[in-house]
Protein backbone atom coordinates (compact mmCIF):
# COMPACT_ATOMS: atom_id res chain seq x y z
CA UNK A 1 0.00 0.00 0.00
CA UNK A 2 1.17 3.56 -0.76
CA UNK A 3 2.26 5.57 2.27
CA UNK A 4 0.85 9.09 2.59
CA UNK A 5 3.59 11.30 4.01
CA UNK A 6 2.56 14.21 6.24
CA UNK A 7 5.08 16.67 4.86
CA UNK A 8 5.53 19.67 2.59
CA UNK A 9 5.41 20.09 -1.19
CA UNK A 10 7.05 23.15 -2.73
CA UNK A 11 5.32 24.25 -4.90
CA UNK A 12 2.05 22.62 -3.88
CA UNK A 13 -0.12 20.59 -6.22
CA UNK A 14 -2.67 23.40 -6.43
CA UNK A 15 0.05 25.91 -7.27
CA UNK A 16 1.26 23.66 -10.08
CA UNK A 17 -2.30 23.25 -11.36
CA UNK A 18 -3.04 26.98 -11.29
CA UNK A 19 -0.33 27.43 -13.95
CA UNK A 20 -1.13 24.30 -15.96
CA UNK A 21 -4.94 24.26 -16.12
CA UNK A 22 -5.54 27.40 -18.24
CA UNK A 23 -3.53 25.89 -21.11
CA UNK A 24 -5.73 22.76 -21.34
CA UNK A 25 -8.37 22.62 -24.12
CA UNK A 26 -11.07 21.46 -21.68
CA UNK A 27 -10.52 24.31 -19.19
CA UNK A 28 -13.68 26.42 -18.88
CA UNK A 29 -12.08 29.62 -17.52
CA UNK A 30 -12.27 32.86 -19.48
CA UNK A 31 -8.72 34.09 -19.11
CA UNK A 32 -8.81 34.71 -15.36
CA UNK A 33 -6.41 33.09 -12.91
CA UNK A 34 -7.90 29.89 -11.42
CA UNK A 35 -8.90 29.90 -7.75
CA UNK A 36 -8.58 26.25 -6.83
CA UNK A 37 -9.55 24.05 -3.89
CA UNK A 38 -9.15 20.29 -3.58
CA UNK A 39 -12.67 18.90 -3.24
CA UNK A 40 -12.38 15.15 -3.76
CA UNK A 41 -10.60 12.25 -5.34
CA UNK A 42 -8.91 8.94 -4.60
CA UNK A 43 -5.66 7.05 -5.11
CA UNK A 44 -4.47 3.78 -6.62
CA UNK A 45 -1.37 1.80 -5.71
CA UNK A 46 1.46 1.07 -8.11
CA UNK A 47 2.23 -2.68 -7.68
CA UNK A 48 5.94 -1.84 -7.98
CA UNK A 49 5.73 0.90 -5.36
CA UNK A 50 7.53 3.44 -7.56
CA UNK A 51 4.83 5.73 -8.95
CA UNK A 52 2.35 7.77 -6.94
CA UNK A 53 -1.14 7.68 -8.51
CA UNK A 54 -3.87 10.14 -7.60
CA UNK A 55 -7.18 11.12 -9.19
CA UNK A 56 -7.84 14.62 -7.84
CA UNK A 57 -10.98 16.73 -8.02
CA UNK A 58 -10.31 20.45 -7.89
CA UNK A 59 -12.99 23.13 -7.92
CA UNK A 60 -12.31 26.48 -9.58
CA UNK A 61 -14.32 29.37 -8.13
CA UNK A 62 -12.81 32.15 -10.26
CA UNK A 63 -15.78 32.34 -12.65
CA UNK A 64 -19.48 33.06 -12.31
CA UNK A 65 -20.15 29.42 -11.34
CA UNK A 66 -17.82 26.90 -9.67
CA UNK A 67 -16.41 24.25 -12.02
CA UNK A 68 -14.99 20.93 -10.80
CA UNK A 69 -12.17 19.32 -12.78
CA UNK A 70 -10.87 15.76 -12.69
CA UNK A 71 -7.06 15.62 -12.88
CA UNK A 72 -5.25 12.25 -12.79
CA UNK A 73 -1.75 12.82 -11.37
CA UNK A 74 1.30 10.60 -11.39
CA UNK A 75 4.31 11.34 -9.20
CA UNK A 76 7.73 9.99 -10.09
CA UNK A 77 11.28 10.15 -8.77
CA UNK A 78 12.68 10.64 -12.29
CA UNK A 79 11.34 11.95 -15.60
CA UNK A 80 9.44 9.77 -18.09
CA UNK A 81 11.45 9.63 -21.30
CA UNK A 82 9.66 11.41 -24.13
CA UNK A 83 6.82 12.72 -21.95
CA UNK A 84 7.86 16.37 -21.59
CA UNK A 85 4.51 17.61 -22.94
CA UNK A 86 2.68 15.75 -20.16
CA UNK A 87 4.77 17.27 -17.36
CA UNK A 88 2.71 19.47 -15.05
CA UNK A 89 5.82 20.51 -13.11
CA UNK A 90 8.35 19.47 -10.49
CA UNK A 91 8.03 19.84 -6.75
CA UNK A 92 10.25 19.30 -3.72
CA UNK A 93 8.78 16.67 -1.39
CA UNK A 94 9.83 17.00 2.25
CA UNK A 95 10.60 13.26 2.51
CA UNK A 96 11.12 11.94 -1.02
CA UNK A 97 12.95 14.89 -2.56
CA UNK A 98 12.29 16.10 -6.09
CA UNK A 99 9.19 14.67 -7.71
CA UNK A 100 8.16 14.94 -11.34
CA UNK A 101 4.39 15.52 -11.52
CA UNK A 102 2.64 14.36 -14.70
CA UNK A 103 -0.77 14.50 -16.28
CA UNK A 104 -1.36 10.84 -15.51
CA UNK A 105 -3.35 10.16 -18.68
CA UNK A 106 0.06 9.96 -20.40
CA UNK A 107 1.66 7.70 -17.76
CA UNK A 108 1.60 3.98 -18.64
CA UNK A 109 1.62 2.92 -14.97
CA UNK A 110 -1.39 5.07 -14.07
CA UNK A 111 -3.31 3.97 -17.17
CA UNK A 112 -2.66 0.29 -16.44
CA UNK A 113 -3.90 0.68 -12.86
CA UNK A 114 -6.94 2.69 -13.93
CA UNK A 115 -7.92 -0.14 -16.26
CA UNK A 116 -7.29 -2.61 -13.43
CA UNK A 117 -9.71 -0.60 -11.27
CA UNK A 118 -12.33 -0.72 -14.02
CA UNK A 119 -12.11 -4.52 -14.35
CA UNK A 120 -12.06 -5.11 -10.59
CA UNK A 121 -8.36 -5.97 -10.22
CA UNK A 122 -7.24 -2.87 -8.26
CA UNK A 123 -8.64 -1.52 -5.00
CA UNK A 124 -9.19 2.24 -4.74
CA UNK A 125 -7.59 3.98 -1.77
CA UNK A 126 -8.52 7.00 0.30
CA UNK A 127 -6.92 10.18 -0.99
CA UNK A 128 -5.26 11.29 2.25
CA UNK A 129 -4.80 8.16 4.38
CA UNK A 130 -2.35 5.26 4.19
CA UNK A 131 -3.63 1.68 3.79
CA UNK A 132 -7.28 2.81 3.72
CA UNK A 133 -9.52 1.40 0.96
CA UNK A 134 -12.17 3.76 -0.43
CA UNK A 135 -15.39 1.78 -1.04
CA UNK A 136 -17.13 4.86 -2.46
CA UNK A 137 -15.12 4.47 -5.69
CA UNK A 138 -16.42 1.72 -7.96
CA UNK A 139 -15.33 0.20 -11.25
CA UNK A 140 -17.38 -1.94 -13.62
CA UNK A 141 -16.55 -3.83 -16.82
CA UNK A 142 -18.99 -5.71 -19.03
CA UNK A 143 -16.54 -8.33 -20.30
CA UNK A 144 -14.08 -10.82 -18.77
CA UNK A 145 -11.22 -9.06 -16.95
CA UNK A 146 -7.97 -8.46 -18.78
CA UNK A 147 -5.06 -6.03 -18.62
CA UNK A 148 -4.36 -3.12 -20.96
CA UNK A 149 -1.42 -0.97 -22.02
CA UNK A 150 -1.35 2.68 -23.05
CA UNK A 151 -1.19 3.37 -26.78
CA UNK A 152 -1.93 7.10 -27.12
CA UNK A 153 -3.64 10.04 -25.37
CA UNK A 154 -5.70 12.79 -27.00
CA UNK A 155 -7.27 15.88 -25.41
CA UNK A 156 -10.29 17.71 -26.79
CA UNK A 157 -12.54 20.53 -25.50
CA UNK A 158 -14.65 18.09 -23.47
CA UNK A 159 -12.14 15.64 -22.02
CA UNK A 160 -9.36 13.16 -22.71
CA UNK A 161 -9.37 9.90 -24.69
CA UNK A 162 -6.82 7.24 -23.71
CA UNK A 163 -6.39 4.55 -26.35
CA UNK A 164 -5.35 1.21 -24.82
CA UNK A 165 -4.65 -2.28 -26.15
CA UNK A 166 -5.92 -5.28 -24.21
CA UNK A 167 -3.65 -8.22 -23.42
CA UNK A 168 -6.37 -10.83 -23.89
CA UNK A 169 -6.95 -10.30 -27.60
CA UNK A 170 -5.04 -7.21 -28.72
CA UNK A 171 -8.22 -5.18 -29.09
CA UNK A 172 -8.16 -1.41 -28.84
CA UNK A 173 -10.46 0.35 -26.40
CA UNK A 174 -10.85 3.98 -25.40
CA UNK A 175 -10.90 5.13 -21.78
CA UNK A 176 -12.72 8.45 -21.80
CA UNK A 177 -11.67 10.71 -18.92
CA UNK A 178 -14.38 13.16 -17.92
CA UNK A 179 -12.37 16.29 -17.13
CA UNK A 180 -15.24 18.65 -16.31
CA UNK A 181 -17.30 16.75 -13.77
CA UNK A 182 -21.10 16.95 -13.74
CA UNK A 183 -22.03 15.70 -10.25
CA UNK A 184 -25.10 13.51 -10.26
CA UNK A 185 -25.23 13.22 -14.05
CA UNK A 186 -25.78 9.62 -15.11
CA UNK A 187 -24.66 7.70 -18.16
CA UNK A 188 -26.12 8.84 -21.46
CA UNK A 189 -25.37 5.47 -23.10
CA UNK A 190 -24.31 2.07 -21.83
CA UNK A 191 -20.50 1.88 -21.97
CA UNK A 192 -18.28 -1.20 -21.81
CA UNK A 193 -17.08 -0.07 -18.39
CA UNK A 194 -16.83 2.89 -16.08
CA UNK A 195 -15.50 4.38 -12.85
CA UNK A 196 -17.87 6.28 -10.56
CA UNK A 197 -17.06 8.24 -7.41
CA UNK A 198 -18.36 11.17 -5.38
CA UNK A 199 -17.96 14.72 -6.70
CA UNK A 200 -18.91 18.03 -5.06
CA UNK A 201 -22.15 19.93 -5.57
CA UNK A 202 -22.29 23.74 -5.17
CA UNK A 203 -24.08 23.39 -1.80
CA UNK A 204 -21.17 21.42 -0.35
CA UNK A 205 -22.79 17.99 -0.61
CA UNK A 206 -21.61 15.26 -2.98
CA UNK A 207 -23.23 13.16 -5.69
CA UNK A 208 -22.29 10.02 -7.60
CA UNK A 209 -20.46 11.00 -10.77
CA UNK A 210 -18.90 9.27 -13.76
CA UNK A 211 -15.14 9.86 -13.76
CA UNK A 212 -14.20 7.58 -16.67
CA UNK A 213 -15.86 5.45 -19.35
CA UNK A 214 -14.63 2.56 -21.49
CA UNK A 215 -15.84 2.67 -25.07
CA UNK A 216 -15.05 1.29 -28.50
CA UNK A 217 -12.73 3.67 -30.38
CA UNK A 218 -14.46 6.14 -32.65
CA UNK A 219 -14.51 5.04 -36.27
Confidence tier at 163 by pLDDT (50, 70, 90): very high
Residue 202 has pLDDT above 90, yes or no: no
210 within some domain: yes
1 within some domain: no
Which phi-psi region, left, alpha or beta, contains residue 8 (left: φ > 0; alpha: ψ -120 to 50)?
A: beta
Helices (H), the chain: 13-20, 108-118
Mean pLDDT of 87-99: 83
Mean pLDDT of 51-76: 95
121 within some domain: yes
* Integer-rounded Cα radius of gyration of the chain: 16
Mean pLDDT of 32-43: 94
Domain with 103 in it: 9-215
114 within some domain: yes
Higher pLDDT, 15 or 201: 15
Residue 19 has pLDDT above 70, yes or no: yes
Non-local (6+) Cβ contacts of 219 within 8 A are none
DSSP assignment letter at 34: P
d(CA 121, CA 109): 14
Task: State the total domains in the chain.
Answer: 1
User: What share of the chain in percent tops pLDDT 90?
Assistant: 78
110 within some domain: yes
The per-residue pLDDT for 3 is 58
d(CA 41, CA 57): 5
59 within some domain: yes
pTM: 0.93
DSSP assignment letter at 133: B
196 within some domain: yes
Residue 189: Cβ within 10 Å count: 6
Between the ranges 93-97, 117-121, 200-204, where is the mean pLDDT highest?
Answer: 117-121
Amino acid sequence: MAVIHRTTLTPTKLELLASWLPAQPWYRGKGQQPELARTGGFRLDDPEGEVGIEFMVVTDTSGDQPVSYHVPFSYRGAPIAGADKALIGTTEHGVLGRRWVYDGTHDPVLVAQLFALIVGAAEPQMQSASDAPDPSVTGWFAEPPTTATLTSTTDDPDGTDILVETAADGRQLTIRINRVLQPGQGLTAQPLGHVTADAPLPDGTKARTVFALVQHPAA
